Structure 1
């Protein structure tokens, strides 16, 4: 090897850089351990996890800027440490869908144009099954409406868009303008969210736009307060200031509303009494069809009377339908009308918004809007306000005038949020507060339709534009509110279409299992290499350790995120990286067997192995690249580590191992590249693989047909990634029987599944209940139903809050949750399909270019299809009785692509040797060349497969959440090894013979002709 000095210097410098990058992680780890010890000492109780968490955070904040080493503070180190993903650190990951529909309606000034609204409704329906962006489907639906013009004055040719859209523009001319405006709005939403998240307080947050679909990924490692995060990212921050009615101004309306509802109730009771009187006769003397008809008529009458707002189950027992729901009266002269229990709030508001009830409002109050006040902590009561609305439903003053907002404390020490307005806002605020002072009325501060406060004005008009929001805020709530107001409002609503929450306990367990599997796999490989190759194996082990250092150093330097599948990718890379050394050592052994000197054998061995190493790693790398481009979350983490591992493995195997071997042999020392036990293994092997190909074809056909039959009849166990739904990982104090739990869940959710996940006291619960609906209230409803359904199996005294957040002290409750909407599930399914198909096409083209014959490409791709079908078939045949999770999700697609890469790796090495044999043995027949090549690579094939299997089995045993993932890889490695010998090569051989393209090299056959 030339330029050894340069390689040595580069390797040393690169290693030092990696150690430097990883030092930040070490410094962070030591300080966090100190903080943990401090928190435990301060709050040693068993049920003090929350207190310890706060104490740990306070400790780290206090030392954040102190120097730890060489001018590096904890804050500096934390910013540059190796990032851990949600599955290792816990935290929250959401994908938000910015409503393009809301943006369009805003651009059209909430147009009432029938064509516009018809197109919106049609687009909403189309989007349920469409893979297109909302705007493209909207244009498509709008074009279907005869004579409809986007540039209509009633739609987009309005005052706000007058600089961009004019009346005589065609639809085709308007479309790019709207697309640009929508993109600007989504970019604005992204900026608003980024500003909010930057102030949230978690380290290493991740926020990014996902293509042009209006989706935004938000990932907050370490975040634990689920509701706080949801509120932060979905709040539109629509701040408005409204005049409000005094309580006595609305009393007359409330009495009238109650009387109307009472009259309807009385009518219902009379109808029911008539039904009962008419049916209390001897059943033997009456036609039952008449009774049924009478009951039907009564039911219809009742439904008519209770239209829109009334719940018949409540009406039956209420004397005063409206006032029976009231839990308290508002004060005289104050803005609070009444107080209502939270559980009755929806019913009460439905009564007030009923058209018949609203018709009772006096003419001067016809535009009144009813809104609830902010829910106080630990209170079950909500206050009701009546806002002085107007025809346009637009406030005199909105949040757009806010230039700054801060969380502060008032004179009595309560948390408040102060706001500063711009000049225009200050003038309007002075006008509003002056009017309120004169009329002794109040002004409501309304954020996202919730009244945060409704203060009166006691000192006259307020000038300067400074105002204050008061309420029963915690410091965190005050900070979040100020942060939201300062960042500004979202230009449209943001719905969570996919979310994942991982508890910190589960994250720590993932780290422990990952480290355990990593360590065991590494030890097994190190021992095997020494056992098989002796001192040369020890040199390969050193290179392997250097490779691991390089992988983690590069990950830290690139600020990549390490996930549990990422650790699996590293461990798998370790197993596969051994392949490069195995190829080199096997070639050196062959050269030594030919009688060459050690120096020449080493030189030729490295040179001859290089082609196979590059081909094998490039094909694997191509599948990893497709995963990186198409995948998200854990899959992207897996692909990142796989690609980095391939690059570092190539460098360490080709250059670092060579440095050690050359350094050892430069003084004439002998290096055997084997041990006494392995010296003659596979030396005189001469198997006629081609002769056995028909038997192999038959075996493969039987397995594939059995799998295909199972796929057709019982299918696969699709995860929520592909079908949508919610899934929860719930841990119990004692072992549970999943079938018993599932029955109780089905009774609650109609459709649900419960499976053992890891241990017998942990279940993975999946439901599609209300999968089409989004919003915090829906999530809360399902969590409540889950908590109620699981009561017989939960620890006594476990509160709802402990259950939903995963009690860290008791180690029970929801440890992980995930929600995937049906729309994004379709997108994930489509991306998975294209990723698999794309990898096959890319690899086919690479092999075609590399080997110059389509028969080689056909053999490789046929083997890949063979392997994928068998893995899918086995999953279909076994998922119902296997004791671990075998769902088909994004991680499984990563596994399939890895199987493709591994299978190709194996096949390409064999093909490379066949091509070499064609060149070396020009007098041999095609069959002899192919069999000879297969036998010569058998040692390498089995060696690599064995080391890779050792790695996978170690992960399978210790990394419980990855068992399904690892099982597919184990099957893939076994089948991939088999297919490279008995499927890929025979198909290549048979197609060459069938089309009469016998290899140019076999001169012997040409002479016979």
Structure 2
């Protein structure tokens, strides 16, 4: 018996040292700093910025169908279909492509073309007027929107990482469709954050159809109030101080943010800030065909517009064919060049974003939350420990030691997992204390019943733990399942509550059963048979 107790005690000491290391690691500086390095504070405790962003995923659908319109226009002649017109005739339904003017004898060739794998995401249907309609399948739209949201989250995360934020929360927001939650502990400058995230505005290069016009009204007059279905009017400025102008651009971009593989800031021959870029292989081939066909001196010379955030920033003539490397020179400041280069290196947003909610939590409010939360935890734990001492007498010491070890293991868990402690997380700690007391009450009351039945102290302890064990496991497992649901579907603070509660419950299973039982066995060891138990 003595050897068995010594082995169990050694195991507990090892567990104790293991979790103490989880809390403080290798100490350097003050104890407070060592703990802070291992257990990070959440937004509500440290202060920072809370943002909810909406991602306009419908733009990704429109951009994809615009590209497919271009692909179809190029593929039709090669597929034996001549004289047909491809476009999107309904602005309200950007997921529909219409092919008109198909000769009757070439309809079979068209069906073969659109029925191939290249257009498997579309449902083709012939119309009474002889045209064909390609409608993007709902599953394809859902997949595209989901990918757009995930890409946006990853892009925003890379933007935020450039700010050096420790333990940011960037995830899908469960309270709305296509929304992103951004929480940045320790950041006080909201303008800096918004500028960094906003720098992910979509950058694209479009072919200029006509313009500039003095106003949108002037453009519509020139166009006889009819905008071609494959084009769109875009506002912008040729220089920072010039008046607003309007250009008619192709609706489909030639290259856009996701086509850039690398970018860096520099200066042109005139000393103006510019951006050197490298395109992906596929985008480079596509861009070469466009620039070679419309360079100066070609039968169809043209120009291209650089559009950032749905605004024309520069319109440039095409002096020569560009493949996978080139430079963007315009009316950019050095700061804008740096932001754009960073954006292109790490990926641009596939769709634009808008702010739904912006909230700043000051450091003083976070400090007050910590102080009040710690006071609540200390007062609650002290009250519980005093109650256990009064009600269960000597056995209350057993319960109090188990509670202290439970708290130590919980903090060690958080240190090893680098979990973020939030104000709801502190509430989870307090609830864990309550669950620990509940387990001890179940065990102690069962021991009292066995003692009243006339059993010896050792036998009562053995039976008490054996019968209470099933009930303790049952209550803990059901609570852990509830915490898991909160973690899966909750937002940041709710996740913090779920994490601390789960860790605490797992620690409690160990302390309430294994540690408490060892303390009872050690107390009764060597006692004479029939010795009373203080409970």
Same fold (TM over 0.5): yes
Q: Corresponding residue for 2:23?
A: 22
Shift of 1:445: 4.7
Q: Corresponding residue for 2:464?
A: 605
For the structure 1 residues 398 and 589, does the alpha-carbon distance in structure 2 shift closer, same or farther, using more than 3 Å as the test?
A: closer
Which protein is bigger by CA-based radius of gyration? 1
- Larger fraction in strand: 2
Are 1:371 and 2:346 an aligned pair? Answer: no
Counterpart Cα distance in 2 of 1:562 and 1:504: 15
Q: Corresponding residue for 2:309?
A: 448
- Larger fraction in helix: 1
Shift of 1:589: 3.1
Shift of 1:482: 2.6
Matches within 5 A, 1:644-723: 644-668=503-527, 672-674=533-535
Shift of 1:388: 4.7
CA RMSD, 1 decimal: 4.9
Are 1:82 and 2:39 an aligned pair? Answer: yes
Shift of 1:431: 7.7
Contact in 1 for aligned 2:44/2:422 (Cα 8 Å): yes
Q: Corresponding residue for 1:587?
A: 446
Counterpart Cα distance in 1 of 2:114 and 2:167: 44
For the structure 1 residues 468 and 199, does the alpha-carbon distance in structure 2 shift closer, same or farther, using more than 3 Å as the test?
A: farther
Contact in 1 for aligned 2:55/2:179 (Cα 8 Å): yes
Are 1:566 and 2:425 an aligned pair? Answer: yes
5+ long unaligned stretches in structure 2:
70-86, 97-109, 127-132
Counterpart Cα distance in 2 of 1:606 and 1:96: 52
Are 1:533 and 2:392 an aligned pair? Answer: yes
Contact in 1 for aligned 2:19/2:413 (Cα 8 Å): yes
Counterpart Cα distance in 2 of 1:645 and 1:402: 47
For the structure 1 residues 404 and 104, does the alpha-carbon distance in structure 2 shift closer, same or farther, using more than 3 Å as the test?
A: closer
Shift of 1:566: 0.9
Deviations 1:617-647 (A, max 9, x none): 3444444343333322222221222222222
For the structure 1 residues 549 and 470, does the alpha-carbon distance in structure 2 shift closer, same or farther, using more than 3 Å as the test?
A: farther
Equivalences, count: 476
Counterpart Cα distance in 1 of 2:293 and 2:190: 37
Q: Corresponding residue for 2:129?
A: none
Contact in 2 for aligned 1:232/1:484 (Cα 8 Å): no
For the structure 1 residues 164 and 605, does the alpha-carbon distance in structure 2 shift closer, same or farther, using more than 3 Å as the test?
A: closer
Contact in 1 for aligned 2:314/2:331 (Cα 8 Å): yes
Contact in 1 for aligned 2:169/2:492 (Cα 8 Å): no
Shift of 1:574: 0.8
Counterpart Cα distance in 1 of 2:409 and 2:269: 57
Contact in 1 for aligned 2:155/2:349 (Cα 8 Å): yes
Shift of 1:433: 13
Counterpart Cα distance in 2 of 1:180 and 1:618: 36
In the alignment, which of 332, 342, 362 is matched to residue 503 of structure 1? 362
For the structure 1 residues 571 and 230, does the alpha-carbon distance in structure 2 shift closer, same or farther, using more than 3 Å as the test?
A: same
Counterpart Cα distance in 2 of 1:517 and 1:412: 65
Deviations 1:871-891 (A, max 9, x none): xxxxxxxxxxxxxxxxxxxxx
Deviations 1:198-257 (A, max 9, x none): 43421223333468954444333223332343344455532245799xxxx98xx76xxx
Deviations 1:841-860 (A, max 9, x none): xxxxxxxxxxxxxxxxxxxx
Shift of 1:586: 2.7
Deviations 1:668-710 (A, max 9, x none): 2866435xxxxxxxxxxxxxxxxxxxxxxxxxxxxxxxxxxxx
SS of the equivalent of 2:526 reads: coil
Are 1:224 and 2:188 an aligned pair? Answer: yes
Deviations 1:374-393 (A, max 9, x none): 98xxxxxx653536534x25
For the structure 1 residues 627 and 508, does the alpha-carbon distance in structure 2 shift closer, same or farther, using more than 3 Å as the test?
A: same
Name the TM-score, length of structure 2 as normaliser.
0.71
Deviations 1:269-313 (A, max 9, x none): xxxxxxxxxxxxxxxxxxxxxxxxxxxxxxxxxxxxxxxxxxxxx
Counterpart Cα distance in 2 of 1:181 and 1:445: 25
Counterpart Cα distance in 1 of 2:381 and 2:271: 58
Are 1:406 and 2:363 an aligned pair? Answer: no
Shift of 1:518: 1.8
SS of the equivalent of 1:389 reads: strand
Contact in 1 for aligned 2:45/2:369 (Cα 8 Å): yes
Q: Corresponding residue for 1:11?
A: 12
Q: Corresponding residue for 2:277?
A: 420
5+ long unaligned stretches in structure 1:
34-73, 121-137, 139-152, 255-351, 376-381, 675-1009
